[in-house]
Amino acid sequence: MAILRSSSICTAFILLVSPVLFQASLARSLDGHWNPKNPSCPTTIFNFGDSLSDTGNVNLVFPFISDPENPPYGEKFFGRPARRFCNGRLVIDFIAIAFGFPLLDPHTLTVAHNYAHGANFAYAGATSSRDNFFVPFYLGLQTAQFLRFKSLTLAAQQEDDAFEDFNRYLPEASSFSSALYTIGIGGNDFLSSFFRMENPQQIINEKVPLAVQGIVDAVKILYQQDARNFLIYNVPPEGCSSVFLTVFRDLGLPKDDLGCLLPVNLVNQAFNAALYKAIQDLRSSLPGVTISQFDYYSANLEILKNPATYGFNPALTQTTCCGAPGQGSFNYNLNITCGHPGSSACSNADEYVIWDGIHFTEAFYRVIAKFVLNGQYVDPPVNLTSECNLSFENFGQTTYSETFPGGSLLL
C-alpha cells in the first residue's frame, strides 16, 4: 500500500479525526480495565448495523431531524439525548462496558473521539442489501467506510511524528486482525415491503436472499482485510413490536399465542434460517475464521414468554413506554412519536420491553447483552464472560458519570 505524504494525510484525515478536546476523550474509559485478562480476548470492536446499534452516525450525518435528538431519549443513563434510539444504553454499549472499553464512538464523530478500542459504523435505518428505503448507508457502504478508516489509520501510523497525538486515539495496526467484528442488520430490508402489503412469500423469495447476501459479502470483504473474529446477530421478531401491531391492527392478520403478527415473523424466521445456512457456508469456505451467531429472535421470544423472570411487567411486553395514545392499544401513534409534542414517557421504563414502538429499552438491551456475553443463544456457545473475566458491575442502575468517573460526554 502506498503511503500518503504528511500533507496529503492531513487533508484526508480531517474528517476522521480532530485534535480538539483529546483529554475529554481519554477520560471516556474505565480506568484500569483496558487490558484483557485473556490474551485471546479482543481489545478492539468494530460494529456494523442499524438503529439497534447506531451510537450516533445518522444523527451526525443528518443533524437535528431524528427523534433521538430530543428528550426523553438518552435520559436513563446519559441524562440527555445521546444519539441513540433508546432511553439509555444499547447492547453494543453494554458489551464495551463489560470489556472495560470506552463506549464505541461513531466513525463520523470529528470531535473528542476515541477509536483506540474500535469504532461504530452502524446507521439507523440501514439495510443489508442496496434497498435504501430509509438511508443510503447500507451494509456494503458501511464496510467501504471501514476500509477507508483502516487505510487512513495505517497511513497515519506511518507518519508517527506528524500524528503522535492522533495515533493514541486510533486502533493499533495489529488490532485489525484480532478485533471482534459485530454485525446486526436485516430488519429494515423488509419494512418497505411490509408497508406495501406485499405477500410474505414474495418478500421471502425476493428480499431475503438479497439481505443475506449483503451480510455474506460484508464478511468476505472484512475477511480480506484480515478480520477473523465475527459476532453476527439475526433479527428479532418484528411482528411483536408496537409499530406493526398498531399499523396492521385492523387487517385481521393472524397472530400467535403471544399476540405477535405471524406473517411478519414468518419473514423474519425465513431470513434467520437463510442467514444461519449462509454462516455455516462461510465457516467452511474461509480458513481460520471464527463466526458466532446470536439468535436475537429466540432470545427476544424468551423474554416475551417469561417477562417477570427478567424484571419486566407481563402486562406491558408489547406496550410502548414513550409514545402517545389514539391509535390502538399499544400507546404507539404514528403521528405523535416519542420525543415530539403530545408524547410522553412512562415512569417505569425498566418494566417495559419496547421504548418508542420500534426500538427497545435499556433494560431489554441489558438482558440481551448478558445473553450474548454469557454465550446464551449463541452458536457455537462461547462464554466471553468467563473466558475474558468480564465484569457486569456497571450494568446496573448507574449513570454515565458513575460509570466513567471524571469522564466528559459530548453529545
What average pLDDT does this structure show over 218-226?
98
pLDDT band per the 50, 70, 90 thresholds, residue 410: low
The whole-model pTM stands at 0.91
Average the pLDDT over each of 37-46, 278-287, 350-359, 370-379 and give the range with the smallest value.
Answer: 37-46
Question: How far is residue 34's CA from residue 183's CA, in Å, rounded to a whole number?
Answer: 23
Q: Where does the pLDDT of residue 152 fall: very low under 50, low under 70, confident under 90, or very high at 90 and above? A: very high
Banded model confidence at residue 134, pLDDT cuts 50, 70, 90? confident
Looking at the predicted structure, is the pLDDT value of residue 295 above 60?
A: yes
Q: Mean of the pLDDT values across residues 104-129?
A: 94
Contact 47, 118 (CB under 8 A): yes
What whole-number percentage of the chain has pLDDT above 90?
Answer: 80
Of 118, 83, 84, 86, residue with least CA distance to 101: 118
pLDDT, mean over the chain = 89
Query: Which pLDDT band, with edges at 50, 70 and 90, does 408 fall under?
Result: low
For residue 275, the model assigns a pLDDT of: 98
> Distance (Å, rounded) from C-alpha 249 to C-alpha 392?
39
Q: Considering the domain delimited by 24-396, tell me its CATH architecture.
A: 3-Layer(aba) Sandwich (3.40)
Confidence tier at 300 by pLDDT (50, 70, 90):
very high
Dist CA 83 CA 67 (whole Å): 9
What is the distance between the alpha carbons of residues 110 and 106, in angstroms, rounded to a whole number?
9
Answer yes or no: is pLDDT of 4 > 60: no
Rounded Cα–Cα distance for residues 302 and 44 (Å): 30
pLDDT at position 163 is: 64
Instruction: Give me the active site residues, please.
Output: 51, 356, 359
Would you call 258 exposed, middle or buried from its count of C-beta atoms within 10 A (0-12, 13-18, 19+)?
middle
